[in-house]
Structure formats: structure tokens, C-alpha cells
Structure 1
Amino acid sequence: MDTFLTEGLLRGEQVHSGIDLAKVAEPLPEDDARWWVEPIRSLVEDAMFEFRNERTKADAWLAPRLHATLRLTRREAADKRLWNHLALAVAPDYVVWRHLSESAQRVAAERFRGPSDRQCFSRLWWAAEIFRNGPDYGPVETACGNQDLIHTVLRLGLLDHRPTAQAVVRLLQDGKITTGREVNGLSVAINAAGATLIYDVLAPDEPRDPARLRDWIAEAETAPPVSRHDLPEGPDEDPVPEESLAALTDYFADLFETAPVRGRKSED
């Protein structure tokens, strides 16, 4: 696909709503509704219209809707070919619209083909997967409303522990952390503390029932398009136990008091 990642595309000079990759791309099963292109095209077009004056705010809107539309397993989402196809063949215009740098007048190539926390669409899907609380995408909106949370915290393996992800979101919702520097400082502290503390012990989580995810995926063909105004619902999984979430939120709040935040004045 490098042939299609041209300098003209990266500079936003030769942008369109799709590229014919049929000769080089592996075909997806046509009988699987999850691979239909139209729902994704419709979503990105609505996002570009709705957030035409505030591009970064499109992340919080698109992430839960992209996740609920694709209905992937984590194994499927780990296949970079899917995200490359979306970025280059389905919606290259969205990638350029969302990530064209005004200073450099160029889109970083990793927004089309890059690691999961940088690629335009995979970063949103994984953020929604990690920060949803069972079927509730509300925490995803909060998480994706802070760019530093996606860029920094998304890389932490600790966020595979659901109470950790939800505790970080709750600190954002409660206003305990607000700036990018504070998010980065908390992330460093959580990562460092995790080397000596097992969060599973402090805040145990309920095991997931894989059958619920399979049922949700199986409903893809009959599911209506996701609402543009109300949040969709994810898999019918149990939310994080409230007692675990409360315990870890309090622990992280205390941890943040001594976290290394650049520019924060130390108190006597």
C-alpha cells in the first residue's frame, strides 16, 4: 500500500474519498455486514461536517460510534491491514482533514499506517475498547476529549485492567486532573507504581463472558445505524465493580499528589 501513500496525499493536495485498492487488497467476506463500507463513510462525513470548526473534538464523537459500528474482536482489531484499508481506501479524506498539521502542512504517515495509538482509526477503536465500561461508552467520550490521555495513557499495558482505565476517567470527570501535563504526570506515576503494586489485588475485576461479545458481534447485520445524537450501546458486559473503581480512584488521587507534573509548584 506504500504506492498509495503519496506525498500529494500527505500534503493534502491530492485528497479524495477513497482509492481503488482492489488489485492489491485482500477481499473481505462480502456476507459479513461489519465490512460494509457505507456505514463508515457516512460516519466520517457526518463527523467532518459537525466538527468542521473544531477537528479535535471529532475524536470523542467518532470513537464510540466507530467501535459500535465495526463490532470487532480484539484479535481482529490487532490486524493492522484493516486500519490501513480504512485510512487509504475508505476514508483518506478524513485522515487528512483530522490530522493535517497547519505548521508543517503535512500529515504524518503514521496516521495512515502506524502503531495502534497513532493510526487515525485504530487509536479511536482501541480507546473505545479500553475505556468503555461494559456497554456504556460515556467514559470513552471523556477519555477521547483529552488528547494526552490517548497519546500517553493508551500505551500503558496497565489499561488492560478495566478498573485502572475507569479510575483515570473518573479523575478526569471529577476535575482532579485537567491539563495535559497532569495526565502525563499521572501516567508516569501509575506506570511506576504498577511495577511494585498489583492493581488486580487492590481493585479486582469481574471476568468477562466471551459469549456476550460474540452475541453482540452476531447482531451486526440486523443492528440499525448508530445514532448521531445519542451514544450507542456496546456489548452487554458487566461494568467495573464500583467498590474496585472507588478504591483505585482514591489510590490514584493520592498517587497524583506526589506525581512529577512539569510546571507544578511544590508545596511546603
Structure 2
Amino acid sequence: MTDKPSFLPERLAFLSDLDAARYITDGLLSGKENVPAIALNKVTEPLPGEEARGALQPVRDLVDDAKHAFRDEKVTAADAWLAPRLHATLRLTRREAADRRLWNYLALGVAPDYVVWRHTTEPGKGEAPKVTAKRFRGPADSQAFARLWWAAELYRNGSDYGPVVTACGQQEMLNTALRLSVIDHRPTAQALVDLMVRGTVRTGREVNALVKAVNASAATIMYDVTAPDVERDGRSLAQWIENAEWAPAVPRRALPEGPDEERAPEESVATLTEHFAELFAEALVRGKKTEDDAAE
């Protein structure tokens, strides 16, 4: 199995897509090779500034703790634990998080062993288990660490990461919902989570059916009009980022706190929760018989 890097610098860095591709070998994807850490760090670019949030060791410590905590469980369970803590450790703006070079470096320079541990697929017939390359270098909804950061960013409710834990407990909320632009509307994201908390949707198939119905409905109903959000105040995020200079390591048992932003309006969330429940009641859940089918 791929090991943690033999060399870890003090600070995080940028790794371009082109350079990252050179280190994503068949041996790495199959978990049989390690990343040549010293060679890789020679082609990275330093992060601008010397802020505390650019320190590498806190991220590496999180990864080690996640692997230890979930060593005897299904590896997907680690997502709900790691997502809010990674978000609260890095303290990025969305503009910063959109830079793929950072995620390339986390996956190859900081924690390639975690990517292999978490994302090695079940072997097919006559095939060996392996990781897909997009988990190391890929879009935000697929890359191993970018997907967790964006899930935490889009599902948190102000400073509360509780909804993130709920959402990341169901893989379809990561695999399907994160790809849709409607999730950027906070009342929409919170309404989806509310339906999970209620038990209205439980399985991956049900979540998939709900998300598709919600996305289709968005073509005719403007959610940001029928269920408006409050205007976002960037000062809270800026202060939270500044506080990283003296913030302790994120807690491992309790959830950390995100930026002190106003929560999504309860009335808007309630409006969409009821609307989405109606959409789901009408949705055809794949693999589940409809009442008409059952009556025949």
C-alpha cells in the first residue's frame, strides 16, 4: 500500500496539472508505488505569504487521525468526519479553493496514502483494485480533497457544520448533488439536508431521485426568488481567516466552528423542504415499484 510521503516540507504548495500528471503512475493508482516526495517538491510553487493556514502539518495530522479513526469501518465514513475539519483547518476563500493546484499538492505531496486508502475501488472481474486518476487530479466534485472542502462550504449553515456531517454521510450528496449549480443556493442545500434528517430520503437511490427532481424543477421555479437567502457578508469570512493566526488545532470529537455568518433563513428552508418533499413523492425512485406497479 502507498505510504505517506518520506519528505514533508513545513508549508503547503501549488502543483500544476501538468506536473501532477507526471506523478500519477499506474503503480500509484494500484497502491504499489510511493510518490517520489523530494522530486515532486522541486517542481512546486510556494503559497503566497506566510500565514498560519498555509502550514502543512495540521493537514497531515488530520489525515493520519482520519485513517486511524476509521481503520475498522467502511472508508466512506471518513468523509463526514474529515470534510468539516479540513474546511476549518485550511480556511480558504472560494477563489482560493477554485485553484486546482492546491488540491493537486494535497493529494500528491501531502497525503497520497490517504487517497489510495479512501478511494481504491472494489476490483472488477479479472481486474486489480485501483484508484481513478481524477481522485488525485480532477474536478472539484471528484478530487479527493476538493470534494470534501466544497461539500463543507456548500452544506454548512453559517458557522454550523452539522449539516455537512449529515450530507457527507450519504455519498450521493457528494457524487451527484455537488455537480449541480442549485446547491450553491443555501436554502436549497439546507432543505435537502432537512429531508435526510426527517428520514424522508434514506438510501442513495432516494437521494439521487430527489436531487434529480430538484434540479429539474429549478428549470421552471427560481428557488432564489421563492426562497430568498440573506445577502452574504464577506467580513465574517475575512475575520475567520484572520483568526487562523492564533486558532488551535480543530477539535477531533466536537465539530469545529466555521465563519460567523448568518444562517440560511428558516422560512426559506421550510418552504423548499415542503416543496422538495412533494417533488420526491412524485419522483420515480430507481429500483422501487410505484403504487401503480404494485396494484397490477
The 2-side partners of 1:242 and 1:9 are apart by 46
Residue 109 of structure 2 corresponds to residue 89 of structure 1: yes
Checking the alignment, whether the CA contact within 8 Å between 2:23 and 2:35 is kept in structure 1 is no
Measured after TM superposition, the shift of residue 7 of structure 1 is 1.4
Residue 81 of structure 2 corresponds to residue 61 of structure 1: yes
Q: Deviations over 1:170-205 (max 9, x none)?
A: 000110001111111111111110000000122111
Q: Which residue of 2 aligns with 1:134?
A: 158
Q: Which residue of 2 aligns with 1:112?
A: 136
Q: Which residue of 2 aligns with 1:28?
A: 47
Residue 200 of structure 2 corresponds to residue 176 of structure 1: yes
Checking the alignment, whether the CA contact within 8 Å between 2:52 and 2:245 is kept in structure 1 is yes
Checking the alignment, whether the CA contact within 8 Å between 1:17 and 1:93 is kept in structure 2 is no
Residue 70 of structure 2 corresponds to residue 46 of structure 1: no
Measured after TM superposition, the shift of residue 19 of structure 1 is 5.5
Q: Which residue of 1 aligns with 2:251?
A: 227
Question: Secondary structure of the equivalent of 2:40?
Answer: coil
Measured after TM superposition, the shift of residue 14 of structure 1 is 1.5
Mean alpha-carbon deviation: is it higher for 143-152 or for 3-12? 3-12
Checking the alignment, whether the CA contact within 8 Å between 1:18 and 1:93 is kept in structure 2 is no
Using the aligned pairs only, state the percent identity. 62
Amino acid at match of 1:84: N
Picking from 240, 247, 251, the partner of 2:275 is 251
Rg larger for:
2
Checking the alignment, whether the CA contact within 8 Å between 2:35 and 2:108 is kept in structure 1 is no
Checking the alignment, whether the CA contact within 8 Å between 2:21 and 2:137 is kept in structure 1 is no
Amino acid at match of 1:35: G
Q: Which residue of 2 aligns with 1:9?
A: 28
Question: Secondary structure of the equivalent of 2:60?
Answer: helix
Q: Which residue of 2 aligns with 1:205?
A: 229
Checking the alignment, whether the CA contact within 8 Å between 2:227 and 2:268 is kept in structure 1 is yes
Amino acid at match of 2:116: V
- Paired residues, number: 268
Measured after TM superposition, the shift of residue 119 of structure 1 is 0.3
Measured after TM superposition, the shift of residue 18 of structure 1 is 5.1
Q: Cα RMSD (Å) of the superposition?
A: 1.3
Question: Secondary structure of the equivalent of 1:139?
Answer: helix
Checking the alignment, whether the CA contact within 8 Å between 2:284 and 2:290 is kept in structure 1 is no
Q: Which residue of 2 aligns with 1:78?
A: 98
Measured after TM superposition, the shift of residue 32 of structure 1 is 1.4
Checking the alignment, whether the CA contact within 8 Å between 2:70 and 2:78 is kept in structure 1 is yes
Measured after TM superposition, the shift of residue 20 of structure 1 is 4.5
The 1-side partners of 2:280 and 2:53 are apart by 41
Q: Which residue of 2 aligns with 1:160?
A: 184
Q: Deviations over 1:201-240 (max 9, x none)?
A: 2211101100110000111111100000000000000111
The 2-side partners of 1:15 and 1:175 are apart by 43
The 2-side partners of 1:76 and 1:19 are apart by 25
The 1-side partners of 2:21 and 2:223 are apart by 42
Picking from 191, 201, 216, the partner of 2:215 is 191
